[in-house]
A and B are shown apart, each in its own frame.
Chain A
Amino acid sequence: MIEVRGLHKRFGAHTALRDVDLDVAKGEVVVVIGPSGSGKSTLCRCLNRLETPDAGSVRVDGAELPAEGRALARLRADVGMVFQSFNLFQHKTVLENVTLAPVKVRGLSRAEAQQRARELLDRVGIGAQADKLPAQLSGGQQQRAAIARALAMRPKALLFDEPTSALDPEMIGEVLDVMTGLAHDGMTMVVVTHEMGFARRVADRVVFMADGEVVETGAPAAFFDSPATDRARDFLAKVLDH
């Protein structure tokens, strides 16, 4: 479904990604973990070309991501993205947030898009908030609305860029529950996160990154119980200690 080859990305003098390869099969849940500044968010943002890589290729469902323009917009429509800071459209109600792209990009009728949006909002548990503005919602509710917005495009894959990092602890669970549900329904997902519990329970495969490189990749049980590299052992010791 997603095929990354030799991805390089620099920000000025800093190299954020160094020769990264990654394959995500259809229906697979890949969780990317690693210390801050390891390039995992940059990798996630390169997958739908919100960051333009300096070298390397990204293929989604067989098609190479083109440069900015209409063709890229069409491809992005098939790859949903959920951001750390939610990024709900502040001037639109939750319902309008969810219906905007289906109407404008997919050409759905307003009524059809609204019906589908209400179903999705019910599914993520915020059906009652449909007519509120994003700022009137809690962080957890906003993030669930953002997930509904991404799902409304019926994407082939979903990218999560640290979806719970901006949330209060008691709201993290409600968002992770929605994501776990999606994973069980067979959604192809790439999740950048610091939630090790989620990675262990839900991931089909864990990718550990450090200093812009993929250091280790493997099944969650194997990775968490017996990491193969010192770098990963060191990282896990720090995050799992408490």
Chain B
Amino acid sequence: MNVITDHLPEFGSGLLLTVELTLLSLAGALVAGIVVAAMRVSPVGVLRAAGMAYVETLQNIPLLVWLVLAVFGLPEIGVKAGLFTTAVVVISLYQGAYTAEAVRSGINAVPAGQGEAARALGLTFTQSLRLVILPQALRTVVQPLGNIAIMTLMNTALAAAVGVVELTAAANRVNLAEAQPIWIFVAAGLAYMALSGVVGLATGTLERKLAILR
């Protein structure tokens, strides 16, 4: 147990970075997901195709490949960003593809009459989506979005592979010095579990609060 208490500062800063990565990536994923889902249901064919291409491209290449590509490829084409920033952007865009699909299923679950009523009142397509459809769609997909949040949290561990010293990388560093993998990684694992527990609780609370009467 000493191995954990001795290295609390390292674990602490790793944990903090994991939380930061998760929260920023989630915010980014939500924005990207809503924009792409809106594109996928838009009446404009080009936007629909672009939205679909986005989802297919992002989902069908592993996150680790995207991370390595971004970290080594972006400087080649003159884009210089810190490792943390690069990781946040890549994870956001990647999780954004999954978020888009969840949001789109929510949009499809809203009865067609809602959009018709909105358009019959003179709201534009974008206004109908923003004011009538999305608020109802998002309420129905709180649970899947919670799963995506947990998946995002777990996927931040991949940032370790490209040099971001988040929780997994911090644990790995401590292990290189102490060679006690079981204690060290069990501790890291428990920390991840605690974090996803918090996400799960938040999802449940949100779902109860936002449920709409039909």
A80 at the interface (CB under 8 A from B): yes
A-chain residues with CB within 8 Å of residue B119 when the two chains form the complex: 50, 73, 76
- The reply to whether A135 and B213 form a contact with Cβ atoms under 8 Å apart is yes
B136 nearest in chain A by CB position: A91
A77 at the interface (CB under 8 A from B): yes
Q: Which of B118, B121, B131, B139 contacts A153 (CB 8 A)?
A: B121
B178 at the interface (CB under 8 A from A): no
Task: Mark out the residues of chain B between 89 and 138 whose CB falls within 8 Å of any chain A CB in the assembled complex.
Answer: 111, 113-114, 116-125, 127, 131-132, 135-136
Question: Contacts A85-B113, A91-B136 hold; do A100 and B121 have CB atoms under 8 A apart?
Answer: yes
A68 at the interface (CB under 8 A from B): yes
What bracket does the count of chain A residues touching chain B fall in? 20 to 34
Q: How far is the CB of A120 from chain B (nearest CB, A)?
A: 14
- The reply to whether A133 and B213 form a contact with Cβ atoms under 8 Å apart is yes
Sort A-B residue pairs by CB-CB distance and give the 10 closest, nearest first.
Answer: A77-B122, A135-B213, A87-B117, A87-B113, A101-B121, A81-B120, A105-B122, A76-B122, A73-B124, A91-B212
* Contacts between the two chains (Cβ within 8 Å), count: 78
Contact with B along A133-146 (1 / 0, CB 8 A): 11110000000001
- The reply to whether B43 and A68 form a contact with Cβ atoms under 8 Å apart is yes
B-chain residues with CB within 8 Å of residue A50 when the two chains form the complex: 116, 119-120
Known: A69-B124, A81-B120, A153-B122. 17 other contacts (CB 8 A): A50-B116, A68-B43, A70-B124, A75-B122, A76-B119, A83-B117, A88-B117, A89-B117, A90-B114, A100-B131, A101-B121, A101-B122, A101-B123, A133-B212, A146-B117, A150-B120, A153-B121
Q: How far is the CA of A74 from the CA of B121 in the complex (A)?
A: 9
Interface residues of B (CB under 8 A from A): 43, 111, 113-114, 116-125, 127, 131-132, 135-136, 139, 212-214
Q: Which of A74, A79, A83, A101 contacts B116 (CB 8 A)?
A: A83
Question: Contacts A90-B214, A133-B213 hold; do A80 and B136 have CB atoms under 8 A apart?
Answer: no
A41 at the interface (CB under 8 A from B): no
Q: How far is the CB of A70 from chain B (nearest CB, A)?
A: 6
Interface residues of A (CB under 8 A from B): 48, 50, 68-70, 73-81, 83, 85, 87-91, 100-101, 104-105, 133-136, 146, 149-150, 153
B119 nearest in chain A by CB position: A76
B112 nearest in chain A by CB position: A87
Q: How far is the CA of A77 from the CA of B136 in the complex (A)?
A: 23
- The reply to whether A87 and B114 form a contact with Cβ atoms under 8 Å apart is yes
- The reply to whether A89 and B123 form a contact with Cβ atoms under 8 Å apart is no
Question: Contacts A68-B43, A104-B131, A135-B213 hold; do A87 and B121 have CB atoms under 8 A apart?
Answer: no
